[in-house]
C-alpha cells in the first residue's frame, strides 16, 4: 500500500470520461485482466494465484488471462481507470483519496481485513524487547503517508509513547530499512511477509500487528461506477472465484503454498510458513486475514483513522456513497437482501 496524493488525479479524472464508453462496450466473453496491488509480492493477492491455477475464474464464468500488479493502491487505481478494467484490489485509503479527488469508484468487497503481515524487528543483540522499550528510539517507516508510517503511529499509541519521544525515520522501502537497521542507523523497522519469514533468526521481533493493533482493512475490491452499471456478471464472477480460492487456501495451505510459490518466486517452505501464519492470525484478534468478500466497516474505519494521522486521507468518509454490496452473494452482505 502506498500514499496517494490528489494532485495528479485532477487531469486523469477529467480524461476518464473519454474511457468509460470502452468499459461499457467490453463483454464478458473475451479474455481480460484485473489489477491487484502488489500481486506477486505481498500476501494480500495470494488467493488470486490460487483462482488462476485451479480454474476458479472459468468456473465462475469469467475469462481472465492475466493479473496486473502494481506497487501500491495509487498505482492500482490509475491502472483501473486508465486501463479500462472492471476489477481491482487496492487499499481503502487509496480508493477514498481517489474519490476525494473526483474519481467515480465503488468499493464492492472486503478482501483482506487485517495487516497481520506486518512485524517490527530489531537486531538480535538489541536491548529492545517490546513496544514498551521504544521511547527515545529510532523507528523506521518506508515513505511519508505510507501504511507503515501510519502503523508506527498506532504502535506508539498502543505503547503510550508520544510521537515526539521517538525519532521516526524514512527508509524508502522495507528492504532498505533492514539495510539501515543492520548498519546501526536505526533501532526498529517494520517489515512485512514474506520478508520476515524469508530471514528466520536474522532479526528479533519486537511486535507483530495481530498482537498489538486492532484489525485494519488492508485491501478491498474496487470498480468504476460505469463498470458497476455494465459489468455486473464479470464483477460477481471475480468475487465468486476469489471466495472459492480463499476457502481452498485455508483448507489446503500446503498445496496452496506450492501454487503461490511459483507465482511469487518464493521457496515453497517459506510460502507455507507465511500462509499458515496468516491463517493462524485470526486466533489472536478474531478477524481473518483473507476474507471471503464481506465488508467490515469497523476495520475500514480503523484504517482510515490511521491514514488520517499521517495526512494520507483528509476529512470524513461517507461509506454509504462508496460501497455497493449488490455484487456480493446474499450471505456476505451486511444488509438483508430486499
Domain boundary assignment for the chain? 9-114+217-332, 118-212
Query: What is the DSSP pairing of strand 189-192 with strand 118-122?
Result: antiparallel
Q: Do 9-114+217-332 and 118-212 share a fold?
A: yes
In this prediction, residue 30 carries a pLDDT of: 77
Cβ pair 322, 95 in contact under 8 A: yes
In this prediction, residue 29 carries a pLDDT of: 55
The percentage of residues in the chain with a pLDDT greater than 90, rounded to a whole number, is: 83
Determine the Cα–Cα distance for residues 134 and 174; give it in Å rounded to an integer: 19
Question: In the structure grid, which three cell numbers stand for residue 16, read together?
Answer: 476518464
Q: Flag whether pLDDT at 302 surpasses 80.
A: yes
Of 68-72, 152-156, 239-243, the one with minimum mean pLDDT is 68-72
What is the average pLDDT value for the chain, to the nearest integer?
90
Determine the Cα–Cα distance for residues 272 and 19; give it in Å rounded to an integer: 41
- Report residue 20: phi and psi, to 5°: -65, -25
pLDDT tens per residue, range 160-193: 999 999 999 999 999 999 999 999 999 999 999 9
Give the CA-trace dihedral at 144, 145, 151, 153, to 10 degrees.
Answer: 70
In this prediction, residue 72 carries a pLDDT of: 66
Question: In the structure grid, which three cell numbers stand for residue 25, read together?
Answer: 462496450
Assign domain 118-212 to its CATH architecture. 3-Layer(aba) Sandwich (3.40)
Q: Flag whether pLDDT at 35 surpasses 70.
A: yes
Average pLDDT over residues 218-226: 97
Q: Place 42 in a pLDDT band, splitting at 50, 70 and 90.
A: very high
Average pLDDT over residues 279-296: 97
Crossing angle, helix 92-100 and helix 73-82, to 10 degrees?
60
Topology at the third CATH level for domain 9-114+217-332:
D-Maltodextrin-Binding Protein; domain 2 (3.40.190)
Determine the Cα–Cα distance for residues 174 and 190; give it in Å rounded to an integer: 7
Query: What is the DSSP pairing of strand 32-37 with strand 88-90?
Result: parallel
| DSSP letters for 229-272 | HH-HHHHHHHHHHHHHHHHHHHH-HHHHHHHHHHHHT--HHHHH
CA 132 from chain centre, in angstroms, equals 28
pLDDT tens per residue, range 139-158: 999 999 899 999 999 999 99
In this prediction, residue 246 carries a pLDDT of: 99
Non-local CB neighbours of 175 within 8 Å, separated by 6+ positions: 195
Amino acid at each position: 500500500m502506498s500514499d496517494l496524493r490528489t494532485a495528479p488525479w485532477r487531469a486523469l479524472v477529467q480524461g476518464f470520461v473519454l474511457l468509460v464508453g470502452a468499459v461499457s462496450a467490453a463483454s464478458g466473453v473475451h479474455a481480460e485482466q484485473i489489477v491487484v496491488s502488489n500481486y506477486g509480492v505481498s500476501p494480500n493477492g495470494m488467493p488470486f494465484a490460487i483462482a488462476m491455477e485451479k480454474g476458479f475464474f472459468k468456473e465462475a464464468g469469467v475469462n481472465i488471462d492475466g493479473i496486473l500488479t502494481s506497487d501500491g493502491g495509487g498505482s492500482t487505481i490509475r491502472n483501473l481507470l486508465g486501463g479500462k478494467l472492471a476489477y481491482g484490489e487496492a487499499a481503502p485509503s487509496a480508493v477514498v483519496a481517489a474519490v476525494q479527488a473526483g474519481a467515480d469508484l465503488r468499493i464492492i468487497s472486503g478482501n483482506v481485513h487485517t495487516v497481520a503481515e506486518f512485524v517490527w524487528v530489531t537486531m538480535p543483540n538489541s536491548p529492545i524487547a517490546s513496544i514498551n522499550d521504544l521511547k527515545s528510539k529510532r523507528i523506521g517507516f518506508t515513505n511519508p503517508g505510507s501504511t507503515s508510517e501510519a502503523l508506527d503511529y498506532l504502535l506508539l499509541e498502543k505503547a503510550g509513547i508520544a510521537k515526539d519521544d521517538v525519532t521516526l525515520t524514512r527508509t524508502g522501502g522495507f528492504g532498505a530499512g533492514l539495510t539501515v537497521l543492520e548498519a546501526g542507523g536505526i533501532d526498529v523497522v517494520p517489515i512485512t511477509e514474506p520478508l520476515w519469514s524469508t530471514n528466520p533468526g536474522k532479526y528479533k521481533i519486537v511486535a507483530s500487528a495481530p498482537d498489538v493493533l486492532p484489525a485494519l482493512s488492508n485491501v478491498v475490491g474496487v470498480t468504476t461506477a460505469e463498470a458497476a452499471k455494465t459489468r455486473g456478471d464479470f464483477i460477481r464472477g471475480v468475487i465468486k472465484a476469489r471466495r472459492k480460492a480463499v476457502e481452498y487456501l485455508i483448507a489446503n495451505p500446503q498445496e496452496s503454498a506450492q501454487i503461490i510459490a511459483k507465482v511469487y518466486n518464493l521457496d515453497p517452505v517459506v510460502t507455507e510458513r507465511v500462509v499458515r501464519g496468516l491463517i493462524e492470525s485470526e486466533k489472536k484478534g478474531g478477524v481473518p486475514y483473507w476474507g471471503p468478500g464481506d465488508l467490515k466497516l469497523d476495520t475500514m474505519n480503523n484504517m482510515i483513522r490511521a491514514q488520517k494521522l499521517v495526512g494520507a486521507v483528509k476529512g470524513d468518509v461517507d461509506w454509504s456513497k462508496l460501497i455497493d454490496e449488490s455484487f456480493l452473494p446474499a450471505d456476505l452482505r451486511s444488509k438483508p437482501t430486499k
